[in-house]
Amino acid sequence: MTLAPPSPAGTAMDALAALVADGDVVVLSGAGLSTDSGIPDYRGVTGSLRRHTPMTYQTFTRDPRGRHRYWARSFVGWRQIREAQPNDGHRAVAALQAAALLGGVITQNVDGLHQAGGASDVVELHGGLDRTVCLGCGDVADRAGLDDRLRAVNPDFGPRVEEINPDGDAELPDELLDGFVMVDCLACGGGPLKPDVVFFGETVPRDRVDGCFARVEGAGSLLVLGSSLTVMSGYRFVLHAAKLGIPVAIVNVGPTRGDAKADVRVDAPLGEVLPALAARLCG
Ligand SMILES: [Zn+2]
């Protein structure tokens, strides 16, 4: 009697479970973790779900009209962000953390869903859409409060149902966007206000990057979830781990830039892999 060889996917899952069971896992998550929650890639790193040209820091800071249109689209898109719920992948990460298997969570996502799913001590590498920062005075404020103020001065602004695409993105003509009314910073009366996220062309604050490097250096392994690692802001942690001999595992549908550096590679949906992993390790 001969035993059937294990399936390749099974082997990769076993290797992943063994690595995570060793503990001190630092998670680096990307947009792929939130797609099951209906979140398009708002920051536009991958661009695949994004219809409009991604906003750059340069355009946002130098082009008042471009900035105005950004806020008009954001006003509409915020409803989708606000209503998004964490998915099984987020909850599985929180379960692994509760089982004391994680050494930290670094996310490239700006949707706050790790925290909503029960994770704590999450480093938001690219900031969070739930806050705004005033480029004039530096005041950081709550996005929900801004939304209340925007609703008050834009009671009738918004797309009709037929103008919303299946992915929730509002296809608003520029003339309509110009009718949007933006508000000023409550702290200084000026502005401009910017979402507290890192745009294209903007660097991640140095202390935040250094904090992430320190976490990676203390990690038993680095687990990449749902990122193609296209941008260097995340990929550099994979390079750093690999250089230090810290094992790297990547769970993502489709190839990633870090595949050559990965010790374990699982090419399967996070919504299947992570709950199975948590069930196996958190009992
Ligand atoms: Zn201000």
pLDDT of the residue at 169: 52
Calculate how far, in angstroms, residue 193's C-alpha sits from the geometric centre of ligand 1. Answer: 7
Nearest to residue 117, comparing CAs of 44, 27, 42?
Answer: 27
| Catalytic residue (one of 52, 68, 114, 126) | 126
**The 3-state secondary structure of 19-34, one letter per residue:** HHHCCCEEEEECHHHC
Q: In the block, which residue shows the tokens 């769970």?
A: 251
pLDDT of the residue at 73: 85
Nearest to residue 40, comparing CAs of 74, 90, 91, 88?
Answer: 74
Calculate how far, in angstroms, residue 197's C-alpha sits from the geometric centre of ligand 1. Answer: 16
Average pLDDT, rounded, for the chain = 88
Calculate how far, in angstroms, residue 70's C-alpha sits from the geometric centre of ligand 1. Answer: 18
pLDDT tens-digit readout, 154-211: 998 876 555 555 444 556 777 778 789 999 999 999 999 999 999 989 999 999 999 9
Alpha carbon separation from 59 to 15, 69, 154 (Å, rounded): 45, 11, 24
Residues across the chain = 283
Does 125 or 73 have the greater pLDDT score?
Answer: 125
Query: Percentage of residues in the chain with pLDDT exceeding 90?
Result: 73
Say which DSSP state 171 is in: -
Question: In degrees, to the nearest 5, what angle opens at C-alpha 101 toward C-alphas 87 and 248?
Answer: 85
pLDDT of the residue at 16: 98
pLDDT tens-digit readout, 97-136: 999 999 999 999 999 999 999 999 999 999 999 999 999 9
Please check whether residue 135 is in contact with residue 194, taking contact to mean a CB–CB distance below 8 angstroms. yes
Question: Alpha-carbon distance 231 to 267, whole Å?
Answer: 20
The token pair at 192 is: 């401009």
Please tell me whether residue 280 adopts helix, strand or coil conformation.
Answer: helix
Q: Which pTM value belongs to this model?
A: 0.88
DSSP secondary structure string, 54-121? PPBHHHHHH-HHHHHHHHHHHHHHHHHHHH----HHHHHHHHHHHTT-EEEEEE---S-HHHHTT--S
Helix axes 88-98, 270-282, angle to 10 degrees: 30
pLDDT of the residue at 282: 93
Calculate how far, in angstroms, residue 199's C-alpha sits from the geometric centre of ligand 1. Answer: 19
Average pLDDT over residues 211-234: 95
Confirm whether 90 is a catalytic residue: no
- Report the half-sphere exposure of 30 (CA within 13 A, side-chain side): 23
Amino acid at 198: V
